Homo-oligomer: A and B are copies of this chain.
Amino acid sequence: MNKIDNIFFNAHHSPIGAFASFTLGSIGAKGGFGLELGRPAEHDVYIGLETENGDKFEALPFYEITNQEDESARYDVEHDDDSQPKWQSIAISPFDFGAVRREFDASRDSWRAGDLEFSIYSPVLPVPDPESSSEESLKNAIIPAVLVELTVDNSKGARARRAYFGFQAGEPKLPLRVISDDASGFRGLAQAASVAVVTDDSKCALGQAFSLDSALAGSKDGDSLFGLGEAGAVVVTAKAGEKRTWRFAVCFHRAGIVTTGLEASYYYTRFFPNLTSVASYALAHFDELKNAWRGFDADLRKSALSDNQKFMIAHSTRSYYGSTQMLDYDNKALWVVNEGEYRMINTFDLTVDQLFFEMEMNSWTVRNELDLFSKRYSYVDQVYFPGKPDELYNGGISFTHDMGVANQFTPASRSSYELPRLTGCFSYMTHEELVNWLCCALVYGERDFEWLTAQKELLTQCFESVLARDNPNPDARTGIMKLDSSFCSGGAEITTYDSLDASLGQSRGNVYLAGKCWAVYIGIERAFEKLGLSDLSKQAAAQARLCENSLIGAVKADGELPAIIGEDVDARIIPVIEGLIFPPLMGVADAVKIDGSHGDFVKTLKTHTERILRSGVCLFPDGGWKLSSTSGNSWLSKIYLCQYIARAILNIDGSHVTEDADAAHVAWLLDDENTYWCWSDQMVRGKAKGSRYYPRGVTSFLWLTESR
A residues touching B (Cβ–Cβ < 8 Å)?
37-39, 72, 74-79, 83-85, 172, 174-175, 177-178, 190, 192-193, 226-228, 255-257, 260-261, 341-342, 344, 404-408, 410-411, 414-417, 419, 421-426, 491, 498-501, 631-633, 682, 684, 689-690
Contact = CB atoms under 8 A, between A and B. Distances in A.
Contact of A261 (B174, B177, B424, B632): B177
Contacts of A341: 74
Contacts of A682: 77
A220 to B, nearest CB: 13
B342 A75 contact: yes
B257 A425 contact: no
Contacts of A75: 342, 425-426, 498-499, 690
B408 A175 contact: yes
User: SS class of chain A's interface: helix, strand, loop or mixed?
Assistant: loop
Contact of A77 (B84, B172, B408, B684): B684
Given A74-B690, A76-B690, 16 more contacts: A38-B172, A72-B425, A74-B341, A74-B342, A75-B342, A75-B425, A75-B426, A75-B499, A76-B425, A78-B689, A85-B422, A174-B406, A175-B416, A190-B260, A228-B344, A228-B405
A406 B76 contact: no
A72 B425 CA distance: 9
Nearest to A419: B226
24 contacts: A37-B172, A74-B690, A75-B426, A76-B424, A76-B425, A76-B690, A77-B684, A77-B690, A78-B499, A78-B501, A83-B424, A177-B261, A177-B410, A192-B407, A192-B408, A193-B257, A226-B426, A227-B410, A227-B415, A227-B417, A228-B342, A228-B416, A228-B426, A255-B257
Contacts of A690: 74-77
Contacts of A405: 175, 227-228
A183 to B, nearest CB: 17
Contacts of A406: 174-175, 192
B257 A689 contact: no
Find the residue from A78, A226, A417 having the highest chain B CB count within 10 A: A78
Contacts of A38: 172
A269 B38 CA distance: 30
Contacts of A422: 85
List of 10 A-B pairs having minimum Cβ-Cβ separation, nearest first = A227-B416, A256-B256, A76-B425, A77-B689, A77-B690, A78-B633, A76-B499, A177-B408, A84-B424, A175-B405
